[in-house]
Amino acid sequence: MSSPLSPPSASASPGDSSSGPAAARGRETTWLAAVAGLAAVLAGFGLAELVAGLIAPGASPVLVVGALLIDLAPAWAKELVISLFGTADKVALVVFIALVAAALAALAGILEYRRPPFGRYVIVAAGLVALAAALTRAGASPFDAVPPVLAMLVAALVLSMLTRRLQTSRAPAEAAAAASVDAGRPASVTPAAASRAALDRRKFLAYTGVSAGVGVLAALGGQLLTAGSRAADAARALFTLPAPTVPGAAIPAGASFAVDGLTPIITPNAEFYRIDTALSVPRVDPSTWTLKISGMVENEVEIDFAELLALPLEESTTTLACVSNYVGGDLIGNAVWLGYPIRELLARAKPRADADMVLSRSQDGWTASTPIEALTDDRNSILAVGMNGDPLPLEHGYPVRMVVPGLYGYVSATKWVTELVVTRFDQETAYWSTRGWSEKGPVKLSSRVDVPRENATVDAGTVTVAGVAWSQHVGISAVDVQVDDGDWNPATLADAISVDTWRQWRWDWDAPSGSHTIRVRATDAEGLVQTSKLADVAPDGATGLHEISVSVS
């Protein structure tokens, strides 16, 4: 007789050789047990998504576990994921979580069959991780506990129900096998037992299919619900951006060269890189949005969206770059922003003289530490509401984000911003600074070749080499291009928009046939020449010269 710790399929017997029919049956049973685990987890997970959609949008188990992984990931892991998947990093993360969950579900199914109730223990352990993830999110409410707890209970119940079905469908065959061993001769299953087993088997398969199907449908329902109840989307669609009180400097016609393949001087919103820790884009309803300024200030200040829009808004063109941008990479973009100077709001709050940092916080709890002088000097550090003539896109921070010329995004460009805390670097630490990145992040002087493309084949003769160079808030004064180990040739610079934006450059090369390397180097407005010394993106931005290989025929 099988004890709970030696279930039917594990009954040791001479007939259990690895090639006999018993072994084949054992393998089949293992597969079915794994499928039962998957179906049970799908049912639990699907219902949790549905309930999350109904009562706790944003608390879906996949999203909260993903957010936890993102928060726990050290700098090297962030870098690795970005270098492997670029801005598809979030899709990669969701796929990764789904694969791990599927593997755990299969394991739970097999364990539950062989060593009950260990399968349910696996499910409870995974559920507790999801619960912890849900409750430790910024702004979590007690409702957020419901989806993971429900997922855990449903998955455990369905798993034990399916596993019992599987065991009864296997019992006659197992009993016959055991009997044959006891009797020392072949024994067969009685016809009645066999037909009962066949019926149980059909029931097992049907219940498994129904569990999985309910799970999938419920998950889809949850998705539809969250998509349908998004006040932020609706508000954004209805929102017309106010006209700027202070229009930005016009973009000079000479800021752009007409060179095919050269990055446009203004990056369209749809092509603007996106980097953040938010697995699902925060939906902030502008009618409830406020920004609070507190900390080391004489007056706490709080304004709502209508008050912000009523202030004289200014337009400015600023290039935004990510510290994770490797040499030659595309985590950089340039946009015309509409917003209100942060300096003016800070002036209302009256920061104390010994404050040296502003910790900005987003609705989803992310933080950035910005040196206070970057927000109080005369640069265009703004609370932005518009991007290239449109309301901020949801994924770029709707309704309000910060834009600060000269600093990498991770220490300045807080999206979905709701709070500014005036403080000191020796008192507060921002999100990425606790994960191996530097607490200050001025953008480093850099340049990139856009045309020809890496590994392009071009015709011998005149070849236009072109790209962009940037040193936000300092400006670019020269760009030089080197072919192989030859001399540095001065490139022609397009007109500057301002010191806060990137600048296009071009150089006409008399290309001889063969394989060549093209290298670019910029000089900033203070005479600093871009270093060729290689530095990794962590902790405070990559350095080195961008070079490309081309073959000239």
Ligand X SMILES: Nc1nc2c(c(=O)[nH]1)N[C@H]1C(S)=C(S)[C@@H](COP(=O)(O)O)O[C@H]1N2
How far apart are CB 154 and ligand X at their closest, in Å? 33
How far apart are CB 141 and ligand X at their closest, in Å? 19
Q: Which does 273 bind (CB under 5 to 8 A by kind): Mo ion, ligand X, none?
A: ligand X
How far apart are CB 275 and ligand X at their closest, in Å? 4
Q: Which is nearer to Mo ion, 106 or 275 (CB)?
A: 275
CB closest to ligand X, residue no? 409
- Which amino acid belongs to residue 393? P
Return phi, psi of residue 110, to 5°: -65, -45
How far apart are CB 256 and ligand X at their closest, in Å? 21
**Pairing between strand 382-387 and 401-403?**
antiparallel
Q: Which is nearer to Mo ion, 70 or 146 (CB)?
A: 70
Burial track 337-363 (b if 16+ CB lie within 10 A, e otherwise) = bbbbbbbebbeebebeeebbbbbbbbb
Site for Mo ion in 245-264 (CB under 5 A): none
> What is the secondary structure of 31-62 as a DSSP string?
HHHHHHHHHHHHHHHHHHHHHHHHH-TT--HH
Return phi, psi of residue 65, to 5°: -70, -40
Q: Which is nearer to ligand X, 273 or 305 (CB)?
A: 273
Q: Which is nearer to ligand X, 122 or 387 (CB)?
A: 387
How far apart are CB 271 and ligand X at their closest, in Å? 11
Segment interacting with Mo ion (CB under 5 A) among 110-118, 266-274, 405-413, 451-459: 405-413
Q: Where do contacts with ligand X occur on this chain (CB under 6 A)?
A: 272-278, 320, 322, 362, 366, 396, 409-410, 413-416
Q: Which does 504 bind (CB under 5 to 8 A by kind): Mo ion, ligand X, none?
A: none
Q: Which is nearer to ligand X, 45 or 272 (CB)?
A: 272
Three-point CA angle 456, 460, 466, nearest 5°: 55
- Which amino acid belongs to residue 20? G
How far apart are CB 320 and Mo ion at their closest, in Å? 9
How far apart are CB 50 and ligand X at their closest, in Å? 28
How far apart are CB 411 and ligand X at their closest, in Å? 8
Figure out which of the listed residues 56, 68, 158, 322 binds Mo ion, where binding follows CB under 5 A: 322
Site for Mo ion in 268-287 (CB under 5 A): 275
Sign of the dihedral defined by the CA atoms of residues 441, 443, 444, 448, in that order:
positive
Task: Quote the distance between the C-alpha of residue 541 and its chain's center.
Answer: 19
Q: Which does 437 bind (CB under 5 to 8 A by kind): ligand X, Mo ion, none?
A: none
Q: Report the run of H or E that residue 325 belongs to, with start and end.
A: none
- Which amino acid belongs to residue 29? T
Q: Which does 415 bind (CB under 5 to 8 A by kind): ligand X, Mo ion, none?
A: ligand X
Distance CA 173, CA 437 (A): 61
CB closest to Mo ion, residue no? 322
Q: Report the run of H or E that residue 227 belongs to, with start and end.
A: helix 191-228
Q: Which is nearer to Mo ion, 123 or 407 (CB)?
A: 407
Q: Which is nearer to ligand X, 37 or 329 (CB)?
A: 329
As a residue count, the chain comes to 553
Burial track 42-80 (b if 16+ CB lie within 10 A, e otherwise) = bbbbbbbbbbbbbebbbbbbbbbbbbbbbbebebeebbe
Q: Which is nearer to ligand X, 78 or 120 (CB)?
A: 78
Distance CA 184, CA 382 (A): 86
How far apart are CB 324 and ligand X at their closest, in Å? 7
Q: Which is nearer to ligand X, 351 or 365 (CB)?
A: 365
Q: Which is nearer to ligand X, 275 or 372 (CB)?
A: 275
Using rule CB under 5 A, residue 158 touches Mo ion: no
Q: Which does 494 bind (CB under 5 to 8 A by kind): ligand X, Mo ion, none?
A: none
Q: Which is nearer to ligand X, 204 or 273 (CB)?
A: 273
How far apart are CB 239 and Mo ion at their closest, in Å? 26
Q: Which does 337 bind (CB under 5 to 8 A by kind): ligand X, Mo ion, none?
A: none
Segment interacting with Mo ion (CB under 5 A) among 168-176, 189-197, 317-325, 507-515: 317-325
- Which long-range contacts (C-beta less than 8 Å, at least 24 apart) are formed by 382-385? 382/314, 382/316, 382/337, 382/339, 382/340, 382/341, 382/342, 383/291, 383/308, 383/339, 383/340, 383/342, 383/345, 383/417, 384/337, 384/338, 384/339, 385/241, 385/308, 385/309, 385/313, 385/338, 385/339, 385/340
How far apart are CB 24 and Mo ion at their closest, in Å? 54
Q: Which is nearer to ligand X, 538 or 550 (CB)?
A: 538
Contact 401, 384 (CB under 8 A): yes
Distance CA 339, CA 15 (A): 78
Q: Report the run of H or E that residue 348 belongs to, with start and end.
A: helix 342-349
How far apart are CB 438 and Mo ion at their closest, in Å? 12
Site for Mo ion in 407-426 (CB under 5 A): 409-410
Distance CA 414, CA 418 (A): 9
Q: Which residues bind Mo ion (CB under 5 A)?
A: 275, 322, 409-410
